[in-house]
Amino acid sequence: MDHLEELKEFARLHARGQGMTAEHATRVLTRITTDTPGAPESWAAVWTAEGRAAADRGDLLDACRHYALARFPYHGDADRVRAQRLCVDTFDQWRRGQDGIERLEFEHGDGTVACWATGLDRPRPLLVVMGGIVSVKEQWAPLLPLLRKLGFAAVVTELPGVGENTSVYGPDSWRILGFLLDELADRAQVSDTSMLALSFSGHLAVRAAAEDSRIRRVLTVGAPVAGFFTDEAWWPRVPGITADTLRRLTGSADLTGLRHLLPQFALTPEQLRQVRIPVRYVASSRDEIIPAGDQALLRRTLDDVRFKTFDDVHGSPAHLGAMRRWLISRLLWLRFARRGTRPTTRTLLSERSS
């Protein structure tokens, strides 16, 4: 499969994951004939034009969805950098019309970490939401009003190297989560932190949970653990876009350099046995990125892990609604199931109103 066709295949899945109809995505993709920057029929130009049209008609969130796809899979050329900026600025315009959504920026030792946040007006249990290697925070930030109603101080941010996170993605990137908790310590109950960390950020969350007792639960979707990083037989099956995006995020000179680096990311059984909190994992039976052996390793090493499997490809984009319902229900169950108590309808309703 050539580069443009692979882009289109992945874009259909990510468009669906953002709530676009298949018909609309197909109409846009048929107009794209090249990925050459500057060409009017190029990937970034066509998706950006769709985003501008949505913004002109006042649908700012729909504009963000199109800009997010215009910069897909990463902002590696001038047109994609422009789309990335439009995505952030348009979301900022939308959130200014909402109640209680704020922008945060923190200077980390390796770069800048930007976030959209809500519920930080008084101490609440913290929920950190982070996407994978191609997901910008603006894709998930519309969930913020719901998360605040459910009683959380919620912060949506990005994996190192993605979107506005200017840090380099490396084997120690899990430390950025502890840094974020330190920065939020005076505005949220960071001692009761939940991680909703998707795909590669789920790997960071599990690794951080082995070291940081403030992380009380991890919910993830299609997270790599060890085999993805070390299995020589699996690697040839990894999509080219995934490999190229990882090369860019890690700053590797080429794919050979990336392959030499990746084994340093793998979590060991000893590290996983230090994770003594609940982990809830959405798996996809036809995952083309994460090998099934990673799930088997979690089953062998974690004390409290549960899986929900969908017959789908990586990230289960065709089951977005069911996946989100399962994750949110598990999140609420785990938060309220302290001392063996079961959450009641009255408890949940009370929490939603707080």
Residue listed under structure tokens 């009683």? 151
pLDDT digits (tens, 9 = 90+) for 143-169: 999 999 999 999 999 999 999 999 999
CB 158 within 8 A of CB 131: yes
Angle between helices 345-352 and 320-336 (to 10 degrees): 100
Please calculate the CA angle 222-172-11 and round it to the nearest 5 degrees. 35
- Tell me the fold of 102-352: Rossmann fold (3.40.50)
Report residue 344's pLDDT band, with 50, 70 and 90 as the boundaries: very low
Phi, psi (rounded to 5 degrees) for 303: -75, -35
Q: Is 318 or 31 the better-scoring residue by pLDDT?
A: 31
Q: In the predicted model, what is the mean pLDDT of residues 62-70?
A: 97
pLDDT digits (tens, 9 = 90+) for 197-228: 999 999 999 999 999 999 999 999 999 999 99
Q: In the predicted model, what is the mean pLDDT of residues 115-126?
A: 95
User: What is the rounded CA–CA span in Å between residue 13 and residue 29?
Assistant: 12
Domain ranges of the chain: 1-97, 102-352
User: Lowest mean pLDDT: which of 16-25, 43-52, 216-225?
Assistant: 16-25
Residue 254 has pLDDT above 50, yes or no: yes
Q: Bridge partners of 197? A: 130, 220
Residue 347 has pLDDT above 50, yes or no: no
